[in-house]
Amino acid sequence: MSQTKTQKIGAITVGQAPRVDVTVDIMDLFGPSVELLERGGLDGLTREQIKEFAPSEGDYILVSRLVDGSSVTFAERFVLPRIQESIYELERQGVSLIMFFCTGDFPDTFKSKVPLIFPNKILHSVVPAVSDATGIIDIIPSEMQLEQSKKKWGKLVDKVNVLAASPYGPWEPLEKAAKQAKDLEGNLIVLDCIGYTQKMKELFAKETGKLVILSRTTLARVVTELIDV
């Protein structure tokens, strides 16, 4: 009886690895033959060091999770070189592809010998295909990201409403956002951060009766298609 060969795939978070909050919702989709190797753009840094990455006016803003479960907000430009080093490290460990645990926009400057799978690029294709003329409701972690979210989705869908509710904080702001989303125009809710969970998707779906796209499972299902051979 032949044994199933283990496949190594990589995952990079812009915060700190491992992202146990993400893998709890996606590893069952991959099955037992997948070994996931994780790296993070903020690995090895203290909170005091990360404070030096605070965004300034005009910066592209990222929100992510640290290993202690707390969240941080920082400018993308500070972690790009660290992400590149994470790519090199995962390549050396023999991964067949690398998925990003972040829905942010990234410049097309990374060097990699294996495919890089960005959830944002997947969402950019899927969301316009399943939304209608009423547009979408984009749920993001921080109010600091409101304008960049409107700018991003405004190019892709007819209308966009944006609400901020962090996946890394208390539950009450998520419940409030779900109630607000119910009354907003838009047939589709996009949980636009890898930090949003399956439980949070269920909250928004139940409260609003609208279609909901969860970034982490959308990413995982595309990756499953690529490695299911």
In angstroms, the Cα distances linking 89 to 35, 38, 84, 94 are 15, 10, 9, 9
Given this chain, do its domains 7-119+217-227 and 121-214 carry the same CATH topology?
A: yes
Considering the segment(s) 121-214 as one domain, its CATH architecture is 3-Layer(aba) Sandwich (3.40)
Q: By the 8 A CB rule, do 41 and 87 touch?
A: no
Q: What is the pLDDT of residues 22-77, one digit of tens each?
A: 999 999 999 899 999 999 999 999 999 999 999 999 999 999 999 999 999 999 99
Two tokens, residue 127: 């969301």
Task: Enumerate the domain spans of the chain.
Answer: 7-119+217-227, 121-214
Mean pLDDT of the 107-136 span: 97
Output the pLDDT for position 6. 87
Unique residue bearing structure tokens 């592209």: 60
Mean pLDDT of the 117-142 span: 97
Is the whole-model pTM more than 0.85? yes
Measured CA angle at 137 (ends 53, 140), to 5 deg: 15
**Dihedral, CA atoms, 109, 112, 117, 121, nearest 10 degrees?**
20
Residue 98 CB neighbour total at 10 angstroms: 25
The string of DSSP codes covering 104-127 is S---TT---SS-EE-HHHHHHHHH
Is 3.40.50.1860 the CATH number for 7-119+217-227?
A: yes
Q: For residue 214, which phi and psi values (nearest 5 degrees)?
A: -100, 125
Q: What is the pLDDT of residues 183-213, one digit of tens each?
A: 999 999 999 999 999 999 999 999 999 999 9
Indicate whether 134 pLDDT > 50.
Answer: yes
**Torsion region of 209: left, alpha or beta (phi above 0 gives left; psi -120 to 50 gives alpha):** left
Q: What is the mean pLDDT of the chain?
A: 96
